[in-house]
Amino acid sequence: MSAAAIAVISAALSSAQQAPANNWIQAGSGGTLGAHLEFPTSTGRVGVLLSSGPVDTKDHPFFTPLGSNGRACVTCHQPAYGMSLSAEAARELWRRTNGRDPLFAAIDGSNCPDQPQALEKSHSLLLNRGLIRIFLPVPKNAEFSIEVVSDPPGCNTSPAYGLKSATPMVSVYRRPRMAANLKYVTNPGPPIVLKLGALADKDPATGRPVSMNLMADAREATLTTQAYSAAMGHIQARSISEEQLRRIVEFESQVYVAQVFDRTGGNLVEPGGPAALGPQAMASHRPGVLGDNDYDSVFLLFDMWKKSGGTAQEQFRASVARGADIFMFRQFWLRDATHINSIGLGNPLKRTCATCHNAQMTGQDLGAGWVDLGTTNYPRWTEPPLYSDAQELPVFKIECKTTAQPHPYLGRVIYTTDPGRALISGRCVDVGSIVMQQFRGLSARAPYFSNGSAKNLRELVDYYDRRFDMQLRETEKQDLINFLEVL
Amino acid sequence: MNGKLLLALVLAPATFAQQRSFVACPIVRDTKTVPCFLAEYEGETYYLTIQQDIQAELYPPQLLHEVLVEGTVAPGPRICGGIPLKPVKLSVLPELNLSCNTILPAEPGIEAPPTRRPAGPSTRKAPVAAGGAAPAGGPLRERFTAPFAEREFTVLYDFDSSFLFSRDTRLVNQAAMYAIAARARSVEVTAHRAASLLSNQRVLAENEAIATQRAEKVVDLLRGLGTGPASIKVRIVAEVAKPDGVSDPRNRLVTIRVIP
């Protein structure tokens, strides 16, 4: 990292004693967060832009513990980790604090609150995969029954916290999402949701339709309802004021994150370079643009990097440009993906990555974005799964009622590590459907997928290659990885 | 017997003979552009449709599911190696059939008909909002102006399905906008359940709750789009029209009658 970049970080975190080597911001530590920040990642540097200028974090509700466990929003949404969290950062924090940091709070920073909290193994999902426990009741209108098949984390069979406890809960484990670039995530799509054949959820404050792209299961309508739920749940607050909610939403609505420097590709935001790169591009661009086309594509143009030169930087940039073309134009059979193939497009569908990842600048879905990609359900088409899911995550058996519309590609009995959207909608067709995530700042926040099942971008690309039989060559895989790294 | 009746009797079997109503696994035929969807029945291959996009009126079937094909043999050459059916109604049957899993490779000489959407990204210059040409954040506005007459909107369904696809929600949206513009005193929603007579004389009947489910979803959408709840009247037609193997797809419907 350059001396200049280090100086930027030091200036940003003015409370030097609270700015450890890995740039972790402790809840309540105070200090001013600069408007332009850069943090080292595994492949270069990620940039964080506060478009409204520097923020005094002292007493700011995003940075201040509001509840009983010492956490603040920033605990899981760290600027140095793309306003999310990496598993590596969690492990480093465990080492440094002997597991006493509020991140590891029993409520959801451990596999289950009734496990011995001082033991590392009680936090294995957070430490190995960066996962936070999400506990939800089975919806009253559920079209299915659910039973626990195996439970390595132990929470779903816990007498106090499990499915047969006094307040029955399903515990699933998910990655914290980026609290950045949110104008894209919250931009309302069409009021009638393709995947529902019905109207989108509405903002309880305004009555206007919302994007249904927040959270892995779209359970929160707005940033305000999300902040409230997070305060009451993850932070264990007893109350939060409207003013505090307003300030949290105001802060996170002006944070933009994207990679700015690559160790081989160099400066990603130099004049004349690809227009979609860097946090300033994220701040400047307008949301709600459909990028699944050949004239205004998802991540705009990389043509200026296509010329193949002899230097390592030129070769890397040419690889990125090829990766962008693979993402936009490489056709393959998209098949058996609920809420893509099942909504009228047919199964299979000969298209490209950009069909689903169609929202310009983020690569999410411009509409409500839940899809069963097969990362949580036990599929027939990929064995074995990337990770040894059965040894780490709970496995549920879902049985659909005879009156229900079955899951379109798995039928009436589904084995899953996370029912996803179905835990909110109660519908069998939604089992395993997860809302797509942004593609930005990826190098800062491994692992990937909602259950952290891809440890790195190579595993992520391998997953797609296997899942959709893309038959990517080794060079094409590396091109895609390089492309994803610079976003 | 007069001449007209005789002609009708002669033509009727011929017309019926051009009908094809059968359940089969879809077969996907790849081409150098978009894939074609075919199905086999009694030793013959029929062309059903090609891959399009969500704006299309006819949606392709799905592998891992059987498809109910209800169509009329159309004149003209084979398409993608199959006898074309037009018009044709395709219903994806809900239960899994893992044997429906055939993708044939592209072959020289087998070409898909022209399509407005290629297999890759869209090439059309006018961006279309994902999900139905609706402006972000607001309802899909249709401009209706006075004078307003009584008007009926008809939503046709896949067999045993109450799901409102994009093509259907556009229609319900039109009905809602018309009802609002006309300040309708009554919006009558009438939902039907139907049966299909297959070419092999077997009858498929839809599940008994389907008409109610169709009505509920249409009414929810009408209300959500701003149709006054007090004006909406719902009627469920319990009896099933006798299937004839010709007009059966048109009996799986909900009508929305807007009375100003």
Neighbouring residues of A148: CB distance < 8 A, sequence distance ≥ 6: A156, A157, A162, A163, A394, A395, A396, A397
User: What is the number of other CB atoms lying within 10 angstroms of the CB of residue B154?
Assistant: 13
CA distance linking residue B152 with residue B143, whole number of Å: 17
Closest-CA distance of chain A to residue B243, Å: 24
Kindly report, residue by residue over A262-290, the tens digit of the pLDDT.
999 999 999 999 999 999 999 999 999 99
Domain membership of residue A18 (yes or no) is yes
Kindly report, residue by residue over A5-64, the tens digit of the pLDDT.
333 444 444 333 333 456 999 999 999 999 999 999 999 999 999 999 999 999 999 999
In this complex, do B132 and A194 lie within 8 Å of one another by their Cβ atoms?
A: yes
| CA closest to A203 among chain B residues | B137
- A170-174 vs A144-150, strand pairing mode: unpaired
Out of A290, A329, A347, whose CB is closest to B128?
A: A290
Chain-centre distance for alpha carbon B139: 24
Which of the pair, B141 or A245, is modelled with greater confidence? Answer: A245
Kindly report, residue by residue over A74-100, the tens digit of the pLDDT.
999 999 999 999 999 999 999 999 999
Residue-averaged pLDDT of chain B: 89
Residue A1 clears pLDDT 70, i.e. is over it: no
- B195-197 vs A170-174, strand pairing mode: unpaired
Taking CB atoms and an 8 Å cutoff, what residues of chain A touch B60? 345-347
Taking CB atoms and an 8 Å cutoff, what residues of chain B touch A295? 123, 125
* pLDDT value, residue B126: 52
Residue A311 clears pLDDT 50, i.e. is over it: yes
Kindly report, residue by residue over A148-174, the tens digit of the pLDDT.
999 999 999 999 999 999 999 999 999
Taking CB atoms and an 8 Å cutoff, what residues of chain A touch B56? 344
| CA closest to A292 among chain B residues | B121
Chain-centre distance for alpha carbon A354: 18
Domain membership of residue A43 (yes or no) is yes
Tell me the one-letter amino acid at B243: P
* pLDDT value, residue A483: 98
Out of A197, A331, A365, whose CB is closest to B130?
A: A365
In this structure, what token pair is assigned to residue B257?
């009658």
CA distance linking residue B37 with residue B251, whole number of Å: 25
Kindly report, residue by residue over B198-230, the tens digit of the pLDDT.
999 999 999 999 999 999 999 999 999 999 888
CA distance linking residue A396 with residue A282, whole number of Å: 39
Q: Does B139 touch chain A (CB under 8 A)?
A: yes
* pLDDT value, residue A382: 44
Mean pLDDT for the stretch of residues A386-390: 49
* pLDDT value, residue B125: 66
What count of CB pairs under 8 Å joins A to B? Answer: 152
Domain membership of residue A231 (yes or no) is yes
In this complex, do B121 and A193 lie within 8 Å of one another by their Cβ atoms?
A: no
Out of A189, A329, A346, whose CB is closest to B37?
A: A346
Buried b (16+ CB within 10 A) or exposed e, B167-183: bbbbbbbbbbbbbbbbe
Taking CB atoms and an 8 Å cutoff, what residues of chain B touch A183? none
- Which structural domains are found in chain B, ordered by start? 15-104 (2.40.50), 151-259 (3.30.1330.60)
Kindly report, residue by residue over B230-245, the tens digit of the pLDDT.
899 999 998 999 999 9
> What CA dihedral angle connects B40, B46, B49 and B51, to 10 degrees?
50
Out of B30, B62, B121, whose CB is closest to A328?
A: B121
Mean pLDDT for the stretch of residues B154-173: 95
Taking CB atoms and an 8 Å cutoff, what residues of chain B touch A335? 63
Neighbouring residues of B193: CB distance < 8 A, sequence distance ≥ 6: B205, B206, B207, B208, B210, B211, B237, B238, B240, B252
In this complex, do B120 and A351 lie within 8 Å of one another by their Cβ atoms?
A: yes
* pLDDT value, residue A479: 98
Q: Does B169 touch chain A (CB under 8 A)?
A: yes
Which domain does A114 fall in, by range?
3-131+175-186+222-255
In this structure, what token pair is assigned to residue A482?
């390089």
Which residues partner with B89 through β-bridges? B70
Domain membership of residue A41 (yes or no) is yes
In this complex, do A329 and B140 lie within 8 Å of one another by their Cβ atoms?
A: no
Taking CB atoms and an 8 Å cutoff, what residues of chain A touch B28? 348
In this complex, do A344 and B132 lie within 8 Å of one another by their Cβ atoms?
A: no
User: What is the number of other CB atoms lying within 10 angstroms of the CB of residue A15?
Assistant: 14
Closest-CA distance of chain B to residue A327, Å: 10
Which of the pair, B57 or B158, is modelled with greater confidence? Answer: B158
Mean pLDDT for the stretch of residues A172-195: 95
Using an 8 Å Cβ cutoff, are A162 and A170 in contact?
A: no
Closest-CA distance of chain B to residue A279, Å: 24
| CA closest to A380 among chain B residues | B98
Burial of A16 (0-12, 13-18, 19+ CB in 10 A): exposed
In this complex, do A194 and B166 lie within 8 Å of one another by their Cβ atoms?
A: yes
Kindly report, residue by residue over B68-109, the tens digit of the pLDDT.
999 999 999 999 999 999 999 999 999 999 999 999 999 999
Q: Does B141 touch chain A (CB under 8 A)?
A: no
Out of B59, B133, B137, whose CB is closest to A344?
A: B59
In this complex, do A290 and B209 lie within 8 Å of one another by their Cβ atoms?
A: no
* pLDDT value, residue B141: 62
* pLDDT value, residue B4: 42
Domain membership of residue A74 (yes or no) is yes
Window 34-93 of B: residues touching A by CB (8 A cutoff) are 34-35, 37, 51, 53-54, 56, 59-65
Residue A215 clears pLDDT 70, i.e. is over it: yes
Out of B51, B61, B136, whose CB is closest to A350?
A: B51
Q: Does B134 touch chain A (CB under 8 A)?
A: yes
Query: 3-state DSSP helix/strand/coil percent for chain B, to nearest 5?
Result: 20, 30, 50
Q: Does B138 touch chain A (CB under 8 A)?
A: yes
In this complex, do B136 and A208 lie within 8 Å of one another by their Cβ atoms?
A: no
DSSP H helical segments within B39-163, as ranges?
none
* pLDDT value, residue B13: 44
Return phi, psi of residue A143, to 5°.
-85, 15
Query: Whose CA is closest to A133, among A26, A238, A234?
Result: A234
CA–CA distances in Å: residue A237 to residues A27, A69, A199, B112 = 14, 8, 33, 60
Out of A198, A293, A350, whose CB is closest to B121?
A: A293
Using an 8 Å Cβ cutoff, are A52 and A23 in contact?
A: no
Classify residue A479 as left (phi > 0), alpha (psi -120 to 50) or beta.
alpha
CA distance linking residue A228 with residue A69, whole number of Å: 16
CA distance linking residue A142 with residue A289, whole number of Å: 35
Q: Does B32 touch chain A (CB under 8 A)?
A: no
In this complex, do A346 and B59 lie within 8 Å of one another by their Cβ atoms?
A: yes
Query: Whose CA is closest to A78, among A122, A130, A119, A114?
Result: A130
Taking CB atoms and an 8 Å cutoff, what residues of chain B touch A406? 94-96
| Per-residue H/E/C for chain A | CCHHHHHHHHHHCCCHHHCCCCCCCCCCCCCEECCEEEEECCCEEEEEEECCCCEECCCCCCCCCCCCCCCCHHHHCEHHHCCECCHHHHHHHHHHHCCCCHHHCCCCCCCCCCCCCCCHHHHHHHHHHCCEEEEECCCCCCCEEEEEEECCCCCCCCCCCCCCCCCCCEEEEECCCCCCCHHHHCCCCCCEECCCCEECCECCCCCCECCCCCCCCCCCCCHHHHHHHHHHCCCCCCCCCHHHHHHHHHHHCCEEEEEEEECCCEECCCCCCCCCCCHHHHHHCCCCCECCECCCCCCCCCHHHCCCCCCHHHHHHHHHHHHHHHHHHCCEEECCCECCHHHCCCECEEECHHHHCCECCCCCCCCCCEEECCCCECCCCCCCCCCCHHHHCCEEEEEECCCCCCECCCECEEEECCCECHHHHCCHHHCCEEECCCCCCHHHCCCECCCCCECCHHHHHHHHHHHCCCCCCHHHHHHHHHHHHCC
In this structure, what token pair is assigned to residue B107?
């072959």
Out of A193, A344, A354, whose CB is closest to B121?
A: A354
Domain membership of residue A63 (yes or no) is yes
Residue A383 clears pLDDT 50, i.e. is over it: no
Q: Does B216 touch chain A (CB under 8 A)?
A: no
Residue B58 clears pLDDT 80, i.e. is over it: yes
CA distance linking residue A146 with residue A396, whole number of Å: 6
Taking CB atoms and an 8 Å cutoff, what residues of chain B touch A367? 130-131
Q: Does B124 touch chain A (CB under 8 A)?
A: yes
Closest-CA distance of chain B to residue A25, Å: 36
In this complex, do A191 and B221 lie within 8 Å of one another by their Cβ atoms?
A: no
Taking CB atoms and an 8 Å cutoff, what residues of chain B touch A403? 209
Q: Does B225 touch chain A (CB under 8 A)?
A: yes
Q: Does B121 touch chain A (CB under 8 A)?
A: yes
Kindly report, residue by residue over B94-150, the tens digit of the pLDDT.
999 999 999 999 999 999 999 988 998 998 765 444 433 343 334 456 688 889 999
**Model confidence, pTM:** 0.92
Chain-centre distance for alpha carbon B141: 23
Of all residues in chain B, the percent with pLDDT exceeding 90 is 78
* pLDDT value, residue A22: 65
CA distance linking residue B26 with residue A308, whole number of Å: 45
> What CA dihedral angle connects B167, B172, B175 and B177, to 10 degrees?
-100
Mean pLDDT for the stretch of residues A364-370: 94
- A170-174 vs A132-136, strand pairing mode: antiparallel
Neighbouring residues of A364: CB distance < 8 A, sequence distance ≥ 6: A184, A185, A213, A357, A435, A436, A437, A438
Mutate to test the interface with A, among B169, B212, B213, B221 (most CBs of A within 10 A): B169
Query: Whose CA is closest to A99, among A83, A84, A115?
Result: A115
Containing H/E element for B176? helix B166-181
* pLDDT value, residue A19: 38
State the Rg of chain A over Cα.
22
| CA closest to B129 among chain A residues | A290
Domain membership of residue A7 (yes or no) is yes
User: What is the number of other CB atoms lying within 10 angstroms of the CB of residue B47?
Assistant: 24
Residue A318 clears pLDDT 50, i.e. is over it: yes
Task: Report how many domains make up chain A.
Answer: 1
Residue A466 clears pLDDT 60, i.e. is over it: yes
Return the SS3 of B71.
strand
| CA closest to A211 among chain B residues | B137
Out of A198, A292, A335, whose CB is closest to B122?
A: A292
Neighbouring residues of B213: CB distance < 8 A, sequence distance ≥ 6: B162
Token pair 């002006």 is found at A254
Residue B39 clears pLDDT 50, i.e. is over it: yes
Say which range, A145-149, A348-352, A370-374, B114-118, has the weakest mean pLDDT.
Answer: B114-118
